[in-house]
Amino acid sequence: MYKLLVVDDEPNIRDVIREYAEFDGYAVEEADDGMAAVEMCKQNDYDLVILDIMMPKLDGFSACKEIKKNSSVPVIMLSARTEEYDKLFGFELGIDDYIVKPFSPKELMARVNVAIERRQAINKGNASTIRYGGLEVNMIGRTVTVDGKRIDLTPKEYDLLFYLISNKNIALSRDRLLADVWGYDFFGDDRTIDTHIKNLRNNLGNYRNYIVTMRGVGYKFEFEE
């Protein structure tokens, strides 16, 4: 059973996360400030930490920095702050994801599952190669193989595929794909995403259906174990 540490000074938020996490089979421990979180991470092994930014005694950024000194545990940061520099600073500290409040508990748990799965894959053999049926994606070598045959993707097609896989089973809007894959300063539109998705599906052949169209929203990479 995977163990989560949920760190937030709002009891109601901790209760909601605990309810959904335990329903998904996780064990959950809680802390209500950053200082307590740092000490708990020194004394216990967690599979993932969900960490709020605005907290008493020690804010989430400072707590994350201290935790990362002694542990490589995945961290998902929660915040009501939507500024780009907050997100970028979090990723510079080594967080795995950044979720803005108010959030969907179901989406949070989907992201928890992805982060833990990614870390477990790294810890095993170090599966730089992730496999979904006959589709293999090598994260380090940036190569994609379909049924044993290597296929050629453009750098942006690879970035898009990797981003979809990293957010497996999560619906991603076109705006978010443009922002996170192309960058905030990219001046494009929905046709940019749709064209790249079409080309990517063509390259994936028998596995094109792993990329699912979410009508009125965007796309997601869907694979059930």
Q: What is the pLDDT of residues 146-186, one digit of tens each?
A: 998 999 888 888 889 988 988 888 899 988 888 778 765 55
| Integer Cα distance of 70 and 219 in angstroms | 37
* Spatial CB neighbours of 57, under 8 Å, sequence gap ≥ 6: 33, 34, 35, 36
Q: What is the pLDDT of residue 161?
A: 92
Q: Which residues of the chain have pLDDT under 70?
A: 121-128, 140, 183-190, 225
| Integer Cα distance of 8 and 156 in angstroms | 37
What residue ranges define each of the domains in the chain, with the CATH number in brackets? 3-122 (3.40.50.2300), 128-221 (1.10.10.10)
Bond prior to 74 in cis (omega within 30° of 0): no
- What does the DSSP 8-state code read for residue 209? G
The residues facing 172 across adjacent strands are 219
Q: What is the pLDDT of residue 188?
A: 56
**What's the CA angle centered on 194, arms 152 and 151, to 5 degrees?**
10
Q: What is the pLDDT of residue 201?
A: 95
The residues facing 132 across adjacent strands are 135
Q: What is the pLDDT of residue 125?
A: 47
